[in-house]
Amino acid sequence: MKIVYLGRQSRRARPEPQLEGDVLELLANNWDDFGNKTTFMTTCRIGGQAVELGNVKLMVDGAATSETYLDRLREAGWDGVFPIPQSRYLSLPGEITLYEQLLDRLGPDAARAAAVKLRDASYLVHIEQDAEALDLIDSDAFRKSLQRERGEIKSYLDGWKLFAAQAMAVLDLGFRFRDVFDNISTLELKFSSRGILPHGVNVLIGPNGVGKSQVLHQIVRDWLDASDEEDSDCGFVEKPNLSQIVVVSYSPFERFPVDLLAHKLQDKEVYRYFGFRDRSVSKTRGKLGSINLTHQAPKRNAAGSLLDCLADDRRYRGLRSWAKKLETAERVLKTAFSFDYAAVNVGEVKGRASAFYTDTSLIDPLAIDLNDERYIPVSSDRIDELNIEKLRSHLNAADGVTFFLDGHPVELSSGQKLFSFIVINILGAIRRDSLILIDEPELFLHPTLEIQFVDMLKMILDRFNSKALLATHSLVTVREVPTDCVHVLARTKDGLSITAPPFQTFGGDMQRISSYVFGDSETSKPFERWIAEQLEAFGDADALIAALGNDINEELAVQIQGMEREGW
């Protein structure tokens, strides 16, 4: 495979590579990389097919702008074919999937040859222990430009493992945070499995006022902080091998950042937020719009995320290990309700529905027209046929995602709607090695949907080598994770305590979990006070049980007799 730089500028519509055969071409651009301009978009062809690989960052020792350096070499006679002659340089892909695709499509030898030509920092440092690379990674340019974005950090930490045939995993994470007592506490997240029990989900649980959501907010704040203050009291104990953080929070009181407009990050998917808040469009040029609470935000997010699933399935369909996002969404959502198609609204019924397709020969129906509105089904059997650009340009996102059964829209409960929002949004946003933060998922889900939600989450996390941290009060959720993944927060006279239950919570007894987490055994329940009053009125347990007649069950009878013995 040839790797080449020909000085061609990147454009909105990506050009075909100029050379024939298997080729990866770096395209020039004028992005400001905050001091060192190192970013190159790419265009690629493998086996006669266009392959979308994303961007590559290329740092040349002593050159503030890599593009200018390469242009001068070409003016001096270089043909643009890598390796770059007589130069000290390093590169990193914007996403680790670049080398995954090369490995899958070309095989290990050709992918390794590409890494050598590009002088991939992860490969040279961790596998070759290349002396020149080890010298260059200590430079400010490497640290401030090639390690500025989270995707490149992930590529550096784990890219070499692709070539070493080692499994990549999000490891245990330590996070220092300022707790409700204004002290520094440390949360030890356990994501590395120590047995066969699933460790993809960790849970923060405890009474109100212990700061569960506060921890999630501080994780996001640290993730988005681009500063290099390594001596900070708070933050990740070690640089996390994550590619992005996705926040799901449908509490009306949360205050997570809704976007990256206030942060100087090129990778706009390094952080994604899904909730009831959204940013309005500012009427004053150069000013950010206000952030408002709106019920339209989840609908808009879900419609856009469904098309993101479609785009990812098309982009990565050549990977044998690809998780197939649309297929996963359909399978998960059908556990909650029945439907034939998930569809998006593309506006008024006009023109031919075939305009939203590149191939309509085997598709029926092309569209569902309802009340003068046109809906285009977006499903796993239409990945290659749908015209994604056309769908995006005509998308009526405010209408959300509509599910159809036998040609009619499915009426969903509020819980089912929220479940569909969460599933589609997480799938649309997630990429390998993500951390999903979810704040109180049980707010709008009944217990059955809670169980399906956790099951869905485990499935998605496993397919994308990702992890999740939930702040919750849900005992149903705690019962689905091992005890070392359960972090019980409690106020004590000595400050905040973070403990794991001293018994196995996975598949455990919910009453036992409740007693440990919330001190339930020490709290008088309303029904117990009622029994105590009735025992006093009737004189003894036998009289009260007789008075209850057919209204008593075995558990209540045992409770009444036990309370009499204990002298309530």
Q: Interior CA angle at 242 toward 449 and 392, to 5°?
A: 65
- Between CA 77 and CA 518 the distance in angstroms is 73
Residue 527 confidence (pLDDT): 78
Residue 521 confidence (pLDDT): 47
Q: Which CATH class is domain 174-193+200-303+414-517?
A: alpha beta
**What does the pLDDT look like over 90-133, one tens digit per residue?**
999 999 999 999 999 999 999 999 999 999 999 999 888 888 99
**What does the pLDDT look like over 368-402, one tens digit per residue?**
999 999 999 999 999 999 999 999 999 999 999 99
Answer whether residue 346 shows pLDDT above 90.
yes
What number of other Cβ atoms are within 10 A of residue 134's Cβ? 13
Segment 554-563 shows an average pLDDT of 78
Segment 509-520 shows an average pLDDT of 82
Residue 58: strand pairing partners: 91
Residue 30 confidence (pLDDT): 64
- Between CA 155 and CA 151 the distance in angstroms is 6
Least confident interval from 15-24, 165-174, 444-453: 165-174
Q: Is the omega angle on the peptide bond into residue 502 within 30 degrees of 0, that is, cis?
A: no
Average pLDDT, the chain: 89
- Between CA 203 and CA 484 the distance in angstroms is 10
Segment 353-365 shows an average pLDDT of 90
Handedness of CA 403, 407, 410, 411 (dihedral sign): positive
Percent of the chain whose pLDDT exceeds 70: 94
What number of other Cβ atoms are within 10 A of residue 466's Cβ? 25
- Which residues have CB under 8 Å from 551's CB, separation 6+? none
Q: At what angle do helices 447-463 and 325-333 cross, to 10 degrees?
A: 160
Answer whether residue 499 shows pLDDT above 90.
yes
Residue 168 confidence (pLDDT): 65
Segment 235-263 shows an average pLDDT of 89
Residue 286 confidence (pLDDT): 64
Q: What does the DSSP assignment read for 19-87?
A: SSSSEEEEEE-----TTSB-EEEEEEEETTEE-----EEEEETT-SBHHHHHHHHHHTT--SBSSPTT-
- Between CA 147 and CA 155 the distance in angstroms is 9
Segment 300-310 shows an average pLDDT of 96
**What does the pLDDT look like over 181-238, one tens digit per residue?**
999 999 999 998 778 888 999 999 999 999 999 999 999 999 998 554 544 789 999 8
- pLDDT-derived band at 4 (thresholds 50, 70, 90) equals very high
**What does the pLDDT look like over 124-163, one tens digit per residue?**
998 888 889 989 998 988 988 888 888 888 899 889 989 9
Residue 525 confidence (pLDDT): 63
